[in-house]
A and B are shown apart, each in its own frame.
Chain A
Amino acid sequence: MSWLFLSSGLFLGWSLGANNAGNIFGPAVGTRMLKFRTAALIASVFVIIGAVISGAGAAHTYSQLGAINALAGSFTAALAAALTVLWMTKLGLPVSTTQAIVGAIVGWDIFTGNLIDKPTLFKILSTWVASPILAGIFAFFFYIVLKHYMNHVKIHILDMDLYTRIGLVLVAAFGAYSLGANNIGNVMGVFVSSNPFKPLNLILFRLNDTQVLFLSGGVFIAIGIYTYSLKVIRTVGKDIFKLSPMAALIVLFAEALVLFIFASERLERLLLSLGLPTIPLVPVSSSQAVVGGVVGVALAKKGWRMINYKLLLRIVWGWVATPLSSGLLTFFSLFIMQNVFLQPVHFPHPYVVSQEVITKLETMGIEDPGLYQLEGKVFKRPAKMKRVLEQRTFLDESGILKVIEYSRVDSILIDTTRLYSLIGNADFTPCQIKTLEKLAGKLFIYKWQLVDTLEKMCKDWRPNGDALHDKDLEDKIRLIVSKFSLIERD
C-alpha cells in the first residue's frame, strides 16, 4: 500500500529526470561534446548521491510550509502536482515542478485547516525570484572573467575543446549533485512527514529513513534521465542548446551553483559559523535558473537591448499560474480522496489551551483574560483556533501564533526501541543521549514540555546564542518530535 501511495512521488521523480536532465547536460549532448550515455551515467550517479547526502535541507522547508503527515495526503498532493505539470506541458505553458508542488502543499494546508506558515511561504516565493536573477549574475560575472582570461592566454583550439569537455563533465556531475540535493524536495518532500521507509543498513554506511526515501526518489529521477531525457533534449528547450559549448559551460555552472547554494546545509553551517546571514534552503526551478544564466551571458555579450521581456513574462506567469492550478487541483483531489476513497489525508493534531499552557505563556509575557475562557477547549484546526483567538482575546498576531504553537498537542512518548535508531540518525552529545535515555517511557503532551525538561537536565540542550548550535538544537528537537509523536504514527 505504501508503494502505491508513493507512486505519485516516484512519477514526479521520473518526470523531473526526464524534463530537467537537459538543464544539466543538454547542451553538452546537443553540441556532441559528450555522448548521451556518458552524460546520463554521470548525471544519474550524482543525482542520487546529491539527493541522499544533501537532500534534507531544501526538503525540510516544504515540511515547514505544510507537514503532510498522512500518506494518502502526500500521494494526492504529489499526484495533483504531477498532473498540473503534465497538463501545463501539454498546453505548452511554462511550468516547473517546484511551483506545482508548493501550490499542492498550500492546497493541502487550506483543505486541512492548517495555518500557512507565512514567513516560510515568503521565503520560498522570494527564492523563485532570486534564483534566476542570481544565476544571471553568476553567468554575467563568469562570462566577463572568462572573456578577459581568454583574451590574455594563448590556448590551442583543440586544447580548449578538451578543457571544455572536461569542464562539461565536471559541471554535469556538480549540476546533477545539486539538482538531486535541491530538487529531491520537490519529488519526495511531501512524503517526509509520512515516510513509510525504515533506516537501511548498508555494509559501509547507514541511511536514515529520510535518506532511503530520497534514494528511491533519486533512482526514479535517474530512470527519467535514461528513458526520456534524450527525447526532451532533442525536442524542447532549443534556446539553451543553441549556445556555444563554452557559453553552455558558463550557464550550466551558474545554474548548478544556484541549485547548490539553495540546498547546501554545509554552506549554511559555514555562513552561520562566520556569523553571516544564511541563504534559505529551498527547492528552486532549474529551468528558470538556466533561463537566468542565458540572460546573464547575453547581457554580458550584447547589453540590455537583448532582454526578451516576453520570456521574462512567461517566467512570472509560471510563478502565478502553476501554484494556483496545482493548489486548486490538490484541494479538490483531497476532498475526493477523503470522502470517496475514505483515506485519511492528514492526522490532525489537537490544540488544547490547558492550564499548563496558560502558565507557560504567562512566563513568556503573553497574558490575556480571554485565554482562561478557552481553557480546556479542543480545536482540531489551527485556522479556526486563530479566528477564535482573534475574536476573544486582545493578543496581536505574534501572540496568537505563540498561543497556537504552545497549545499544539504532540503526545511525545520516548520509547526505547525507537530511541536507538534515532541516536544513529543525528550527532547527539553523550550528555544529550544520557538525558534521552533517562526520559525513556515518559510521555509529554506538548513539545515545549519536552524541551523544558531536556534543558533542565543537560546544558547541551540549552540554546546559547550561537547560531550554529541553536540551529542544531532545533533540528534535533524536530527529529525527536517526528520520531516519538504518537499522533503521527499510523
Chain B
Amino acid sequence: MFTIFKKTRELEAEINRFLDTIIEASVHFQEGIKYFLQGDLETFEEKVRIIDRLESNADQLRRSVEENLYLNMLLPEARGDVLALLENSDDVLNAIEETIIECSVEKPSCTDELKSDFLNLVDAVTSAVEEMVATVRDYFTNLSDVPNHITKIKVHEHESDEIGEKLRRKIFSKQIELCEKLQLRDFILRLEKIADLAEDVGDRVDIYRIKRMV
C-alpha cells in the first residue's frame, strides 16, 4: 500500500513536470518568434535549441508516465483517456517545435507592416496553448473549472483564425513574389494549426470530464 502511495505522488509530479514543459516551450516560442521578427537571429536560434531540448524532455516524461500507469495498474478506468490526453498535448508541443525549426530553416522574409499582425497571431496561439495546459491540469485536479478554460481556448483559437485570415489577405494583396507569399502562408497556417491542436485537446478534455463525473 505504501508503494502505491509513493508511486501516486511520483506520477503526479511527472504529469505536472510534463505540463510545465509545454508552458515553458510555449513562452520560449513566443519570445523566439519575437526575436526572429526583430532580426535578432542569434537569440532566436538559442530559443530554437531550448524548445528542441524541452520537446525531448517532454517525450521522456510522457513515456515514463505511460509506463508507470500501466506497470502499477493505476487509473484502470481513466487510463486510456489520460494517455490520449498526454499524447495530444505532446502533439501541440511537437507542432510548436516543428514550426520554429521550419522558421529557422526557411527564415521567411516579413515586411514591417506585417510584423505586428504576426506578433498578435503568436500571442493568440500561445494563449490558446496556455489555456490548454490549464484545462489539462484542471482535468486532473479541478473538474468544475474545466469548462471556463475550454471557452478561453476557443476564443483564442478563433482569434488566431481571424488574424491568420487577415494576414493572408494582406500578403496576397501585396506586390511580392508568389513563392514568398506561399512561404508566409505556410508559416501562418502552421501557427494556426498549433491553436487548432490546442482546441482539439480542449474538446477531448470536455468529453473525458463528462466521463469522469461520478
Which residues does A use to contact B, with CB under 8 Å? 31-33, 143, 146-147, 150-151, 154-159, 161-162, 165-166, 244-247
Instruction: State in angstroms the CA–CA spacing of A369 and B12 once bound together.
Output: 86
Contact between chains at A158 and B214 (CB < 8 Å): no
The verdict on B110 contacting chain A, using a C-beta distance below 8 Å, is no
**Please, what's the 1-or-0 string for B4-36, where 1 marks a CB less than 8 Å from any CB in chain A?**
110010011001000000000000000000000
User: Max chain A CB contacts within 10 Å: which of B1, B15, B141, B214?
Assistant: B214
A157 in contact with B82 given A31-B76, A31-B77, A244-B77 (CB within 8 Å): yes
Contact between chains at A158 and B77 (CB < 8 Å): no
Contact between chains at B74 and A158 (CB < 8 Å): yes
Contact between chains at B76 and A33 (CB < 8 Å): yes
Contact between chains at B141 and A155 (CB < 8 Å): yes
Q: Using A158-B8, A158-B74, A158-B140 as known contacts, list a sample of 8 further A-B pairs with CB atoms less than 8 Å apart, ordered by residue number in A.
A: A32-B73, A150-B214, A155-B141, A157-B139, A157-B140, A159-B8, A166-B1, A246-B214
Instruction: State in angstroms the CA–CA spacing of A247 and B73 once bound together.
Output: 19
Provide 15 A-B residue pairs closer than 8 Å at the C-beta atoms, listed in order of the A residue. Answer: A32-B76, A147-B214, A150-B214, A154-B141, A154-B142, A157-B139, A157-B141, A158-B75, A161-B75, A162-B8, A244-B77, A244-B214, A245-B76, A245-B77, A246-B214
Instruction: State in angstroms the CA–CA spacing of A279 and B78 once bound together.
Output: 40
The verdict on B111 contacting chain A, using a C-beta distance below 8 Å, is no
Contact between chains at A157 and B75 (CB < 8 Å): yes
- Can you list the 3 inter-chain pairs with the closest CB atoms, starting with the nearest? A32-B76, A154-B142, A157-B140
Secondary structure of the A contact surface, majority rule:
helix
Nearest-Cβ distance from residue B69 to partner chain A, whole angstroms? 9
By a CB distance below 8 angstroms, the chain B residues around A154 are 141-142
Contact between chains at A143 and B141 (CB < 8 Å): no
Contact between chains at B139 and A162 (CB < 8 Å): no
- Shortest Cβ distance from A147 into B: residue: B214
Instruction: State in angstroms the CA–CA spacing of A76 and B1 once bound together.
Output: 47
The verdict on B170 contacting chain A, using a C-beta distance below 8 Å, is no
By a CB distance below 8 angstroms, the chain A residues around B141 are 154-157
Contact between chains at A146 and B214 (CB < 8 Å): yes
Nearest-Cβ distance from residue B62 to partner chain A, whole angstroms? 16
Instruction: State in angstroms the CA–CA spacing of A449 and B15 once bound together.
Output: 78
By a CB distance below 8 angstroms, the chain A residues around B15 are 158
